[in-house]
Amino acid sequence: MYKAASNRYDKMIYNRVGKSGLKLPQFSLGFWQNFGYEKEYDEVKEIVLKAFDSGITHFDLANNYGRPGGSAEINLGKILKDELAPYRDELIISTKAGYGMWPGPYGDNGSRKYLMASIDQSLERLGLKYVDIFYHHRPDWDTPLEETMKALADIVKQGKALYVGLSNYPTERALEAIKILRGYGVELLIHQPSFSMLNRWIQDEKLDEMLVGAGVGIIPFSILSQGLLTSKYIKEIPKDSRIGNPDVPFLNENNVTPELREKLIKLNKVALKRNQSLAQMAVSWTTQQKGISSVLIGVSRLSQLEENLDALNNLKFSKEELKEILEIIK
């Protein structure tokens, strides 16, 4: 039986989420890829337990994560049952619904029918009575926002989730959702947008400022821009990279332009002066941006988790470093 490391809380930083009483670790473990049946179970378990031993108390999932969809929740459910059951009250488990999960008109988007079925299915796969955070995964422009938010509020009131979150919502839609939820007596805890050095839309569209003003936390995903913010693309595209993987539709060779490669080379030089890898610097930079409560790290092997954790040793930037980085990425 697994026994957690006694020093698991010694190095990790924990930040308050918006104006709530909840704290999240500086790094949260995302299960988007590499945690379903596409990965050997023992490898998944090794990464999850190492993360917890390192103070990562937040595991972020969605109903459709893993291949096939749902397998990431099933794998974590087995780990929770077999290894982490004594530590449930030390964990934050989040999941989401909003993308296609099953055939027919009721397995996608943001209807009450879909969300209520999704939370029940997720709880069954995870083997839990409740999740800590339940998100609507993306805006549904065809369903009235009031219907979606009422479903989220009712999920909290039914005790199936402690908090609710949104993901991928643009600024005005998120603000409207916050107001509707408050009308139902529920506060929005957190928003999960894509965000990185190369993708700063939440700053361009003032989403970060709005969320901070509303007392809502931010936990960005794709903080390495699907792996672009690593040293692997500085010279040439590796054959084993995500760009060469047909299962990753978000990247292709056209993403690595000469202009991008020039930026990566310059950013890598800044990182080396900080005694960091480019990936570590990108992670550190993201943690220091306005309103960030935690950042999602996605890994495919233990060494990547350890590299991310090493970034904890050098999170702060000098004014000169920040100015130099801004000049490169603008």
List residues bridging with 94 in a β-sheet.
60, 133
22 pLDDT more than 80: yes
> Tens digits of per-residue pLDDT, 285-319?
999 999 999 999 999 999 999 999 999 999 999 99
State the CB neighbour count (10 A cutoff) for residue 181.
22
Options 3.20.20.100, 3.20.20.80, 3.30.70.890, 1.10.3720.10; CATH of 14-227+278-316: 3.20.20.100
Domain boundaries, the chain: 14-227+278-316
What digits encode the pLDDT tens for the residues 67-91? Answer: 999 999 999 999 999 999 999 999 9
Check the CA dihedral 76-196-23-297 and report its sign: positive
Name the percent of the chain in helix, strand, coil, to the closest 5: 45, 15, 40
Question: Quick one: average pLDDT of 215-224?
Answer: 98
Mean pLDDT, rounded, of the chain: 94
pTM score, two decimals?
Answer: 0.93
Which band of pLDDT confidence, cut at 50, 70 and 90, is reported for residue 272? very high
Q: What percent of the chain has pLDDT over 90?
A: 90
pLDDT grade for 251, boundaries at 50, 70 and 90: low
Which residue has better confidence, 242 or 60? 60
Structure-block tokens of residue 296: 């999602």
* Calpha distance 220→217 (Å, rounded): 10
Is the pLDDT confidence value at 231 over 90?
A: no
